[in-house]
Amino acid sequence: PGKELPVARPDFFLRWKMCNKMKEVDPDVNFYSIRPLSHEFMNFVDGNRTIEEIANAVGYEYDMKIKGEHVLIYFTYFKDKGLLTFSHK
């Protein structure tokens, strides 16, 4: 078989934190929207886009107000687990 990749799912508390932060900007955000949004955050990772660009693209796609800091919360979780790297410019 191929290389086995680690499965990383953000825990409840991370998703709850993201939801509450996002609700401050867009009251239509709910806890159950976090999973599809977070999948889209990862779909937009290409090595060239900034976190702010990813936030804007996903926000546009889902008609929600998403800030870079919301995406950063999610990406930092994966960075801390050694599954994602990014740098501050």
Inform me whether the pLDDT recorded for 8 exceeds 70: no
Instruction: Kindly give, in sequence order, each residue whose CB lies less than 8 Å from that of residue 4, ignoring residues fewer than 6 positions away.
Output: none
Angle, nearest 10°, between helix axes 34-43 and 12-25? 90
28-81 tens-digit pLDDT: 899 998 989 998 999 999 989 999 999 999 999 999 999 999 999 999 998 998
